[in-house]
Structure 1
Amino acid sequence: MPTSVLNMTTVTQYIVPPKPEEPAGTGSDSNPVTGTGAFPGTGRRTSSRAAGRGSLGAGLVEVPVVPVRDPASAVLEDPVVAENKRYCTNCGEKVGRGTDGEKGSPEGVCPKCGQAFNFRPRLYQGDLVAGQYEVLGCIAYGGLGWIYLAKDHNVSDRWVVLKGMIDTGDATSMAAAVNERRFLAEVEHPNVVKIYNFVQHPDPFTKAMNGYIVMEYVGGQSLRQLALQHHRDVGRAEPLPIGQVIAYGLEILPAMGYLHSVDMLYCDLKPDNVIQSGEQLKLIDLGAVRRVDDYESPLFFTAGYAAPELAREGASVASDIYTVGRTLAVLSIEFAGYTSRYKHTLPGPDVEPLFALFGSYYRVLKRATHADPAKRFTSCGEMADQLTGVLREVMALGTGKPRPGVSTVFGVETRSFGAGLTAEGEPALPAPDPLEVATILPLPLVDTTDHAAAALASITATEPAELVAALSAAPQDSVEVRLRLVKARIEQGDLRAASAELGSARRLVVDPADWRPDWFHGLIALAGRAPQAAREAFDRVYDAVPGELAPKLALAVSAELAGDMFAAARTYELVWRTDRSYVSAAFGLARVYMAQGARASAIEVLEAVPETSSHHVAAQVAAIKIKARRGETGVAEQDLHDAAGRLERLALDAERRTRLSAEVLEAAYTWVKSGRPGGGPPGRKVLGCELSERELRFGLERCYRALARLAATAEQRHALVDKANAIRPRTLT
């Protein structure tokens, strides 16, 4: 079986964090570094969405349940730290390694720096710690110490875990344990392991008192173990299913966000530190957790998961978000080189098939792991919102069933473009007007923290000129006021003024991650018939909010107007398959299919517009028109019957029904005159007329005379009467 990156050793390292009063320095992974306390771009990164918890999978994907493990079965028979996991906690040098076939000693002195090490357990079966916790044995070991299973005789013999240290002589490890004791008892979240107590017990070798964290027992498997088990089950190095990985992310993010909301940072997220038990995930191994304003305690991290600025600037909400992105990447792709070649980057869609298939997922990871902390997601809640949108897309593509959702940053599509009923003689699916598209695309929701938000909510004007006047008279200038002025100027058709307003808005923006100016830049470019410039602007928005459908719809119409039908079809399809309320995407996809000669596919899309949509009739009419018009292979008899049956079921006014009937009968007449290619047995009817030249002539005559009676002008009436007379078959009367 190929080697997986999850089989590779990950080493937790630590640094002394920068103090706020010290100047910035270069630093290294294991030596003290300096930096500033208020890091650029991270000042607002402490907010988080409420820490509520739903079922694993967000109701969108089923995640296999992991049985809760019998605690007693978890005890290791021979608790030994593998030699390839033995590193000096002071300098990172390999220690305790064997040579020439001889096993290495778990106890000794680092040959590089002289730091003593001891990897032996300190507690054994039968030990009674603090007169309360009876030890059953070791169950695991990690970067900071052995983990022991015990029974709490003071609380109904409940199972608990005691976490000690690998090297009791290491002051850094001791500091980490004290750090846990200091504030981890405050943590109260269903997805974070619960800390019960902190106790001490004499070391069997040195007789010094060692500290132990007492925490709840979480029976299950770590995400790393689940990934390795998946490899074994499928017989090859295959990552976990993307839906399952995203579901894990949607459980991890609220827990991380909770920690941020109480001014704590997790710092060392990786697959080893998350356990699934039953249908629940928990963050464990809280040894690296620290206060956001802690500039004294050692900073622990793991190579391949840690943000590049960590040694230079210290930990932040942004660096925590980085670890989430890296953890999801390691679980979802065969990420060879994640600690070397791709230590601070991701493989692109050109080399990673999953990223090529699910571009939105790639963009979530790309933003979460951006080199600039200020351009990452501003909170775990924001990342979770976008990741939820991506999961909806993934499941819609995978199951063929729409997975609509409510956006937290865009308004709904109140109008649709390219979906209107067409007049006689016009194409069934005319290309949309770019200016109209720019005024119809959804707008970003008003930022309620903007100081002019209340004033904007009181403006009731709807006409562009009135809206411009009201916005110009707003008591306070702000980004929101300027952006709304951009939209009003676009609706007026004054693109020069719109560009000027956008320039003013950009000067007011303080957050480098604010994508809204790019959105309005794209609208201006679209209205100005510069679709390629619009694509570039909307693509930047897509990078920022990859779980949203509005940017993809804008990208699709921009690609269509630029003549890139392949890109347009792919993006329209993504929007339409995810959420059927975006009817603009259905009409756009049908237009692109028609441009590519895929007539049947265009009809299929239009027929899928739901009856609950206000554009259902327009879609059915367009489908009828396409069926009744000659394609590359001509009109088929079945198309005529389908068009007629659909028309008979539609609720239309008399004039439109008659006009459509005439189109269908004209197509049938042309088909009969061409020799009935591929026709069935005689006697079949379309709209009450037998498929014969004589009967179709009579049917068309009736349609033209009915339309003449409904004509708006005498000229139109005379033309229709002439058509009726010309088509009428010769008779004796």
Structure 2
Amino acid sequence: MTRCEQPGCTGIVEDGYCTVCGLAPDSAVTAAQAPDPGPEADGPPGTVASAASGTVASASSGTVASASSGTVTGRVRRGSSRSRSNRSERSGRGRLGAGLVTIAPVPYRDPSTAIMSDPQVPEQDRFCSQCGKPVGRTRDDRPGRAEGFCPHCGTGFSFTPKLGPGELVAGQYEVLGCLAHGGLGWIYLARDRNVSDRWVVLKGLLDSGDADAMAAAVAERRFLAGVEHPNIVKIYNFVQHPDPRSGEEVGYIVMEYIGGASLKELRSKRNAEGRLEPLPPAQGLAYMLEILPALGYLHSRELLYCDFKPDNVIQSEEQLKLIDLGAVRHRTDLDSVGFKTDGYCAPELELEGASVESDLFTVGRTLAVLTFAFDYRKTYRHDLPPAADVPVLQRHPSLDRLLRRATAADPDDRFGTAAEMAEQLTGVLREVVAAEEGAPRPALSAMFGPERAVFGADPADRPATLGPAVVAQALPIPLVDPADPAARWLSSLGDDPDRLVTLLEAAPIPSYEVELALARARVAAGALADAGAGLDDLEQHEQADWRIGWYRALTALAGGDTGSARTAFDAVYGLLPGEAAPKLALAAATECDGDPDAAGALYDLVWRTDHGYPSAAFGLARTRLAADDFDGAIAAVESVPESSSQYLAARLTAVRIRVQAATEPHLVAAGQLLTELALDPERKARLDIEVLGAARELAAAGTAGGPVLGCPLDDGALRAALEQRYRTLARLAPDQLTRRALVNRANDIRPLSWV
């Protein structure tokens, strides 16, 4: 990677062109600069050695090699979300943070300063490559040997670099020194004399006599030859050079130098108490969102990464690079030695082999390690601590659900593709950023349509507006798969439930989407038993997915079984933690089930993230009213923006809540709000009567103050104002009988006088 040489341009040349000005470089490639190094290594050999960066991304402790006995293929699963996202599997420069969060760039510096002055493997990190037991340790006050034979199995070991400064490899690469060491070998910085003295990295074997390590190196060369992705380290060459001890030829991979810091290093900062400081959750999510397309690219080529962890991702400027592809294998490869890192690898890896799901498991584990502290190598080696013990998971429940799905014990319960995981991760990132910044981060869903209707718009009238059946008809519905053969025909149908049932039962193009639409239509038509039977049949369909659970929940809610609906919607939320619709549905079912506190937390989660769901604002107001939090309820409905079609309804709801609160400040504010709203005369008069009536009761209790709609809290003045509103309604009455009743009411309420 090189800087653009156009005057005044700050861009970087990638793929032959500048990322800012778009021009090709005019002169020779200059040396890239890299950030300050932070070399460290914390584990035994046996993992894949990381590609070098300006800082060291070393092997992690607990990393061992294991024989693969099989693979798990990515198949359609009943619990899978099967996202139909159009999100690309490829990633380009400049999207770090997805436009939602700002990630500080990691600057470049001269890579030559990253060279280790005294390249040694610490004794605590020396392990036999064959049996994994400690070797080269101090005994009887004698320092451990850097070379020798394992006392347990007799395998030879060597922890000394094979290349020294100034040595010329393959007549082309001048070695400058060591950058790092890893499970498969030393990593060297070199200068490519044949290509404008560009910086390159040479990665060799720790022990050329290790057959497994040699095989892994060969595998890396084979797979990397055709890999080309902007978030994956580039491989330039593969060369051989004689071992200075044995004279045997040793292979070296030549790859690009990535100047930056590993995620492990970015996570290694300590607070004032000396404890490791986790990354902000939004930053961790942004990192995973940036790197998932690289894994998706590998998966699309039938390759599995196998050993994803913070050590193997480098941030350079504003871009991430996936490095160290030594563990990459083909999905059908059952024989090659596998490499994994304890605390990150999936529990089934040794017995069942690697899979797309096991790769995504490591992404979930990496995100967890980056964003909160827990004993991920022992106590929680394959699972996560309870959310109650982790403050960040309590603050962000959707993050908790995302992590638990990604790291589920059963591979069938995890995300099935990198794109699917990225889609949900994006939704969770929006939710986290909205919570932390206090501003909504809306986005169109790729899986659900909008609300079909706003339910419960008047918190003061809950029984009439929040019946479970009403909610079932108002909730968003999942989108139809456009690839389904009946998709176009389904889009042409109307909304009448009974007619829809008739049409769908005689559909000219039978398909999975038709059966789902039929279940939905039966729910709307009240044929709940038929809907349930149809969903039972769909469970056996090869395309069975999460939408069956959604429609089961909808069926239960329409039938008034709020407990079952709550359980089913909760399961969908677990599968789709980044979607707003499941949270909204779960909130409504929870409220109908008599748990306003839990419902309020979910309504708040939806509303603060996306103001496109006004039912959540009204729901939040209702749940706050249930706790007699009048001001909180008012704030909820008054947060509905003026651009919303529910703006007027929300303001009128705020008036009614103030009337219900019935304090002098609330009634004064209610009157001011009514004065500001553009209402028809009849509606205005009726609402005025509600406010003035409450003010009269307050005045009767001896409260002074005001004015309320221009009247002080005085019985006579309030009676006169009420008389005026009743006479206005009488003039607007549609018939003589109604007019007479309103005139009589006006006469009854008018203050006493001699006239």
Is 2:66–2:339's contact at 8 Å kept on the other side of the alignment? no
2:752 maps to 730
| Selected match of 1:353 from 373, 383, 391 | 391
| Selected match of 1:603 from 630, 634, 645 | 634
Alignment-mate amino acid for residue 437 of structure 1: V
Q: Which has the higher contact order (CA 8 A, sep 6+)?
A: 2
Deviation of residue 510 (structure 1)?
A: 4.6
In 1, Cα distance between the equivalents of 2:445 and 2:584?
14
Is 1:34 the counterpart of 2:78 in the alignment? no
| Selected match of 1:532 from 559, 563, 568 | 563
Is 2:457–2:465's contact at 8 Å kept on the other side of the alignment? no
2:469 maps to 435
CA shift in 2, pair 1:221/1:268, >3 Å: same
SS at match of 1:104: coil
1:372 maps to 410
In 2, Cα distance between the equivalents of 1:42 and 1:89?
38
1:8-87 counterparts in 2 under 5 A? Answer: 9=43, 12=46, 32=67, 34-35=69-70, 49-53=88-92, 54-87=94-127
| Selected match of 2:674 from 647, 657, 664 | 647
CA shift in 2, pair 1:38/1:242, >3 Å: closer
Alignment-mate amino acid for residue 340 of structure 1: K
1:623 maps to 654
Is 2:64–2:340's contact at 8 Å kept on the other side of the alignment? no
1:22 maps to none
In 2, Cα distance between the equivalents of 1:239 and 1:614?
42
Deviation of residue 431 (structure 1)?
A: 4.7
Is 1:541 the counterpart of 2:572 in the alignment? yes
1:507-522 counterparts in 2 under 5 A? Answer: 507-510=540-543, 514-522=545-553
In 2, Cα distance between the equivalents of 1:660 and 1:362?
45
Is 2:398–2:578's contact at 8 Å kept on the other side of the alignment? yes
SS at match of 1:134: strand
Is 1:429–1:622's contact at 8 Å kept on the other side of the alignment? no
Deviation of residue 215 (structure 1)?
A: 0.7
CA shift in 2, pair 1:64/1:233, >3 Å: farther
In 2, Cα distance between the equivalents of 1:301 and 1:170?
17
Alignment-mate amino acid for residue 373 of structure 1: P
1:311 maps to 350
| Selected match of 2:321 from 262, 269, 282 | 282
1:590 maps to 621
SS at match of 1:161: strand
CA shift in 2, pair 1:494/1:717, >3 Å: farther
In 2, Cα distance between the equivalents of 1:448 and 1:515?
17
Deviation of residue 234 (structure 1)?
A: 7.1
Is 1:491 the counterpart of 2:524 in the alignment? yes
2:166 maps to 126
In 1, Cα distance between the equivalents of 2:748 and 2:621?
35
Is 1:397 the counterpart of 2:435 in the alignment? yes
Deviation of residue 450 (structure 1)?
A: 3.6
In 2, Cα distance between the equivalents of 1:149 and 1:687?
79
2:506 maps to 473
Alignment-mate amino acid for residue 667 of structure 2: L
1:248-299 deviation per Cα after TM superposition (whole angstroms, max 9, x unaligned): 1111111111111222211111111111111111111111112223334322
In 1, Cα distance between the equivalents of 2:713 and 2:65?
86
| Selected match of 2:604 from 573, 577, 595 | 573
SS at match of 1:198: strand
| Selected match of 1:385 from 417, 420, 423 | 423
Deviation of residue 29 (structure 1)?
A: 6.7
Is 1:627–1:639's contact at 8 Å kept on the other side of the alignment? yes
CA shift in 2, pair 1:491/1:31, >3 Å: closer
Alignment-mate amino acid for residue 642 of structure 2: E
In 1, Cα distance between the equivalents of 2:282 and 2:196?
39
SS at match of 1:210: strand
2:224 maps to 184
1:676 maps to 703
| Selected match of 1:659 from 659, 681, 686 | 686
Decide which moves more: 232-241 or 563-572.
232-241
Is 1:506 the counterpart of 2:539 in the alignment? yes
1:312-371 deviation per Cα after TM superposition (whole angstroms, max 9, x unaligned): 2221211111111111111112121x2222221111213222222221111111111112
Deviation of residue 301 (structure 1)?
A: 1.4
1:62-99 deviation per Cα after TM superposition (whole angstroms, max 9, x unaligned): 22222223201100011011122222222222222222
- Give the TM-score normalised by structure 1: 0.91
Deviation of residue 13 (structure 1)?
A: 5.0
Is 1:704 the counterpart of 2:726 in the alignment? yes
Is 1:415–1:440's contact at 8 Å kept on the other side of the alignment? yes
Flag structure 2 segments of 5+ consecutive residues without an equivalent: 1-39, 49-62
| Selected match of 2:709 from 673, 687, 707 | 687
CA shift in 2, pair 1:39/1:382, >3 Å: closer
| Selected match of 2:380 from 336, 342, 345 | 342
Deviation of residue 691 (structure 1)?
A: 4.0
2:250 maps to 210
In 1, Cα distance between the equivalents of 2:355 and 2:83?
9
Is 2:554–2:565's contact at 8 Å kept on the other side of the alignment? yes
In 1, Cα distance between the equivalents of 2:108 and 2:710?
68
CA shift in 2, pair 1:330/1:101, >3 Å: farther
Alignment-mate amino acid for residue 448 of structure 1: P
SS at match of 2:253: strand
CA shift in 2, pair 1:131/1:446, >3 Å: same
2:17 maps to none
Deviation of residue 146 (structure 1)?
A: 0.6
Is 1:142 the counterpart of 2:170 in the alignment? no
2:592 maps to 561
CA shift in 2, pair 1:129/1:46, >3 Å: farther
Is 1:268–1:323's contact at 8 Å kept on the other side of the alignment? yes
Is 1:223 the counterpart of 2:263 in the alignment? yes
SS at match of 2:321: strand
CA shift in 2, pair 1:10/1:90, >3 Å: closer
Q: RMSD of the alignment, in Å? A: 2.4
Is 2:71–2:354's contact at 8 Å kept on the other side of the alignment? no
In 2, Cα distance between the equivalents of 1:399 and 1:81?
45
1:362 maps to 400
1:23 maps to none
Give the fraction of aligned pairs with identical amino acids, expressed as a percent: 52
1:384-442 deviation per Cα after TM superposition (whole angstroms, max 9, x unaligned): 1111111111111111111111212111224211126x9xxx73896512111101111
**How many correspondences in the alignment?**
697
Deviation of residue 502 (structure 1)?
A: 1.6
Is 1:258 the counterpart of 2:285 in the alignment? no
1:329 maps to 368
In 1, Cα distance between the equivalents of 2:42 and 2:572?
36
CA shift in 2, pair 1:456/1:40, >3 Å: closer
Deviation of residue 702 (structure 1)?
A: 1.0
Is 1:293 the counterpart of 2:310 in the alignment? no
In 2, Cα distance between the equivalents of 1:244 and 1:341?
26
1:102-181 counterparts in 2 under 5 A? Answer: 102-181=142-221
Decide which moves more: 269-278 or 693-702.
693-702
In 2, Cα distance between the equivalents of 1:474 and 1:441?
25
Decide which moves more: 552-561 or 718-727.
718-727
Deviation of residue 55 (structure 1)?
A: 2.3
SS at match of 1:162: strand
Deviation of residue 676 (structure 1)?
A: 2.2
In 2, Cα distance between the equivalents of 1:574 and 1:268?
34
Is 2:307–2:341's contact at 8 Å kept on the other side of the alignment? yes
2:663 maps to 635
In 1, Cα distance between the equivalents of 2:229 and 2:83?
17
SS at match of 1:148: strand
SS at match of 1:199: strand
